[in-house]
Amino acid sequence: MGKMVGYFKSLVTEMKLISWPKKPEVWGSSKIVIAMSLILVLFVFLSDQVLNWLIGMFL
């Protein structure tokens, strides 16, 4: 039981040392992730449409 208590005490100590990001940094990173996801969705959609069109021409 003592090892478990020691583990959680060291866990709390380590968590206090973490440099958590500020709100503007989180928002900035989130915007980048959302924008890149939308670009990827658009790319996959357009690629699918072009491939469907090409396959339709040859069949």
Domain boundaries, the chain: 20-59
> Could you report how far apart the first and last alpha carbons of the chain are, in Å?
70
pLDDT tens across 9-57, in order? Answer: 999 999 999 999 999 999 999 999 999 999 999 999 999 999 999 999 9
Confidence of residue 59 (pLDDT cuts 50, 70, 90): confident
Neighbouring residues of 29: CB distance < 8 A, sequence distance ≥ 6: 21
pTM over 0.75: no
pLDDT of residue 18: 93
pLDDT higher than 90, residue 2: no
Alpha carbons within 13 A on the beta-carbon side of 31: 6
